[in-house]
A and B are shown apart, each in its own frame.
Chain A
């Protein structure tokens, strides 16, 4: 009864891959000049199927497949569901915001889906080489997507920057993996966890961990590895930013959780202070820089850096309490961030008519729906109660406080008070009466697909803020999966590592 076909362990990834391939082939055979929107719907349906498949994996016993390289557990299912949900929202958003005549639209949808394959695989991988490959799959898709607006100068510039710095960071990760392999003789995470405490060359493991952390922290855009974020966000099309700022980060945080809590729990005295410093740096640098921004996308880029900092505060928690808090924070952050970028994408359009904060003046007068939604998501980012943002922060900081990191909590909450200033600037601009009522542009229409995407984000943010019970249980399960001693968690596997 223990025998689970390996294929089921990667069912969501498989579905996504097939969807991506199907979209690419359809694009090639689609008559030129015809609208590419149906391709977007194909991608969205495939993602929905993958989402359903991820939830279906709950029925599988926890364990690994494909020679102990891929795991299915509460942890992976949580992140699969989250990532598929985010990709779905982004696809729906793109359906209504990409202009009808933009070329390569089929490839755009395919790339988003391929990116999702990488991100999903990243959260399920328990073999460092697979982690690396998955990271590359997801990164390469996002590099291309960043430069999607070739007609602007900013798009390709952002893509090149992202590609160069991203490759550099991945190289760090790979080097780290190599060092850890050198010290333990394996790249399997459970095996490393078993061997690392007794490995003869301790400093090699430390160096490997440090390099790996650099690579991962680059992906989550934590300071001091954040410099690419504002430029890339500014150049990429808005729906892509909605994706970039959420799904790959969620996946990277999943890897971070796995690396520190499952692979190297014994090195806690080393990584805990490191992450403490990174957390404080991220929130402070992010917020201080965001205060000075006039461009909405850059401001939100810095805000996402600050949020990475709040999230990292959870890693100061006692024992494994940080896992649940961090997972919850990721979900809350993703819901509100994808929501706010969706609102901005609709209000501002594909050609970004409203780049500056001041341009949003009077949005609530022009379009009460968009204006209210913008303020709602901003409120969540500020951390106003009854939204996901508040409970996320509360979860993160309360575990940090229990872990004794009083100063981290003080710095963090003062930061979040400071952060209110720049979020509020945008919110108040939107609430202010327009300069000239007649000259104000007509309110952008909210299409069906975008409407669904926004509804999804609003409901998720509210559910996470008001009735978070189920999600909290899921995150507790996350903690337990990573807590399970590695030797046991590989036991239910039906395959034996040939060594």
Chain B
């Protein structure tokens, strides 16, 4: 068992790569590539399940850790590990991989080899982001994740793929240049890229205030673009419109949000506290702005993009509220969001494959022809709206409660308004797509409802939404125990001067201080 524990993360990282190489070298015959990709992603998902099964919840710090020297000078380590923060995100990536393969099963008709090889490389890159504890290793995976995405958007774009791909790539690549400068600066000061070492050194206050401010800012901007946070979301809508469904469901959100939690708040608690009021404001603007724009979209991919902006902003609000409840809810909400978006994108992909249009007005009255699609779409939408008993409710409730009690009542009320708008655009979308009079398009074609393979994916996702809604206790304790989140409410009211192992403490007294300032 010990041998498995020591190598499990490496196996998770390598297996998709092995699959990608297999896809690349085997001949392009029929659906061979699909099957290899499906097999690989299922086995990888199985491997990721090993993590929660053997994770020791009461132990703080990283588990399943591996730390080998990769390059001597500069000292870069292959250092991977999981804690409560990344544990379930890794499982989520594993879960969404087979969903993605099923979603592309019929949609991708040509150059399957290239598609599935790159899709699997993308999996490795995402696992790498969540697992890396060495800043350069992390940066490597972070950048690597852009490449398959950009190529696949260009190759399979619906209207103007290359333009969207260029936009996506430049939007995320250029801010990562200052990120690398910041990482190199930290290395030049400390001689280490190790997350824990840097965390300790920064907590000891070994650096000047201004350099550290800019370094933290570089981290923040690079991640905020990827989330995306409000004024930096320019790439999102085009990417959602053009990206193949399997990639659209993973492109936004979790990588950036996780990085904010781990590397921005985790490394620079003091600087994070300084910018928190701004981030909270931007998040609330994002929630409302995204929801309002989602209301007026005529194209369902774009509607999903602005809905995503709204939901991701809510998570950002939870993170930068810097309250225990908010952070916990935010992590939980990343998981919920992943599951719900996976299901919604799969279903919208089914519609798009049958009708080849994403104009909402072309649809209508499909519920009779596509009863299964309609049913699951309604379930997933209700989950997304935050209906009690379904996963999102728990996450959103925690975030809003955290904001209400810990940050400010005004912001919480504004954010809640966004949640209400969310119900409006999603329900309206359902009505326009599935109910009302049958549109010309719907009558003229005989669309295919969900097939067995798709049902096999959607059922578990729907079940998962329900389980996450009624039994959040399965997830929340691990998340809460995570070393990099405040462990109890009392502790963050403690003195700001803290011993190094708990640098977050200084970030936490936000609630009291900030409120007084307002």
Chain B minimum-CB-distance residue to A385: B140
User: Could you tell me the dominant secondary structure of chain B's interface residues?
Assistant: helix
CB 8 Å contact bits of B98-113 with A (1 = contact, 0 = none): 0000000000001101
Residues of chain A contacted by B176 (CB below 8 angstroms): 417
In residues 385-421 of chain A, which contact B (Cβ within 8 Å)? Answer: 385-386, 390-391, 394-395, 397-398, 401-402, 406, 409-410, 413-414, 416-418, 420-421
Select A364's contact among B111, B170, B175, beta carbons within 8 Å.
B111
| Measured CA separation A134–B150 after assembly (Å) | 45
- List residues of B (136-180) whose CB comes within 8 Å of A's CBs: 136, 139-141, 143-144, 146-147, 150-151, 154-155, 157, 161-162, 165-166, 169-170, 173-178, 180
Please tell me if the beta carbons of A472 and B151 are within 8 angstroms of each other in the complex: no
- Cβ contact within 8 Å between B188 and A421: no
B71 contact set on A, CB distance < 8 A: 391, 468-469, 472
A345 CA / B176 CA spacing, docked (Å) = 33
Which of B136, B146, B161, B175 sits near A394, CB closer than 8 Å?
B136
A58 at the interface (CB under 8 A from B): no
In the bound assembly, the distance between CA atoms of A391 and B147 in angstroms comes to 17
* A307 vs B268: C-alpha distance when bound (angstroms): 33
Contacting pair B170 A421 (CB below 8 A): yes
Whether A384 contacts B73 in the complex (CB less than 8 A), given A421-B170, A428-B150, comes out as no
Q: Is A425 an interface residue (CB 8 A)?
A: yes
| Stretch of A21-29, A36-44, A429-437 on the interface side | A429-437
- Verify A409–B184 contact, CB threshold 8 A: yes
Q: Find B181's partner among A410, A425, A433 (CB 8 Å cutoff).
A: A410
A428 touching B187, Cβ below 8 Å: no
Q: How large is the interface on A (under 10, 10 to 19, 20 to 34, 35 or more residues)?
A: 35 or more
Count residues of chain B with CB under 8 A from any CB of chain A.
39
B72:A424 contact, CB within 8 angstroms? no
Residue among A390, A394, A397 with most chain B CB within 10 A: A394
Tell me the minimal C-beta distance from A443 to chain B in angstroms: 13
* Interface: A483 (CB within 8 A): no
Which of B136, B150, B184 contacts A424, CB < 8 Å?
B150
A476 CA to B181 CA, complexed, in Å: 24
Is B74's CB within 8 Å of the partner chain A? Answer: yes
C-alpha gap A427/B168 in the complex (Å): 14
**If A385-B144, A469-B72, A472-B73 touch, does A428 touch B188 (CB 8 Å cutoff)?**
no
Structural contact, B177 and A413, CB atoms closer than 8 A: yes
Closest to A425 in B: B166
Q: What's the dominant secondary structure at chain A's contact region? A: helix
Are A428 and B165 also in contact (CB < 8 A) when A384-B143, A409-B181, A413-B180 are?
yes
B114 pairs with A432, CB closer than 8 A: no
A-B contact count (CB 8 A): 110
A336 within 8 A of B: no
- Look across to chain A and name the residue whose beta carbon is closest to the beta carbon of B211: A406
- A425 CB to closest chain B CB (Å) equals 7
Q: Are B166 and A385 in contact (CB under 8 A)?
A: no
B162 contacts A432, C-beta separation under 8 Å: yes
Report the Cα distance A372→B143, complex, angstroms: 18
Q: Roughly how many angstroms separate A382 CA and B151 CA in the complex, as a whole number?
A: 14
Q: Does B185 contact A (CB under 8 A)?
A: yes
Q: Closest B-chain residue to A382, C-beta based?
A: B173
The answer to whether A413 touches B178, judged by C-beta atoms less than 8 angstroms apart, is yes
Quick check: A431 and B185 within 8 Å, CB to CB?
no
Distance of A271 from chain B, by nearest CB (Å):
22
A385 touches B141 (CB 8 A): yes
Q: B155 touching A364 by the CB < 8 A rule? A: yes
Name the B residues within 8 Å of A472 (CB-CB).
71-73
Q: Which residues of A contact B185 (CB under 8 A)?
A: 401, 406, 409
Of all chain A residues, which has the CB nearest B175? A417
Contact: B155 with A433, CB < 8 Å?
yes
Give 6 A-B contacts (CB < 8 Å), ordered by A residue: A384-B147, A401-B181, A401-B184, A420-B173, A428-B151, A428-B166
**Chain A interfacial positions (CB closer than 8 Å to B):** 324, 364-365, 368, 372, 375, 379, 382, 384-386, 390-391, 394-395, 397-398, 401-402, 406, 409-410, 413-414, 416-418, 420-421, 424-425, 427-429, 431-433, 468-469, 472, 476
Q: What are the 6 closest A-B residue pairs judged by CB atoms, nearest first? A: A385-B140, A417-B177, A417-B174, A413-B177, A428-B162, A431-B154
- Supplied contacts A385-B143, A431-B151, A476-B73, 10 more A-B pairs, CB within 8 Å: A324-B73, A368-B111, A368-B113, A395-B74, A398-B74, A406-B181, A427-B154, A428-B161, A431-B161, A433-B161
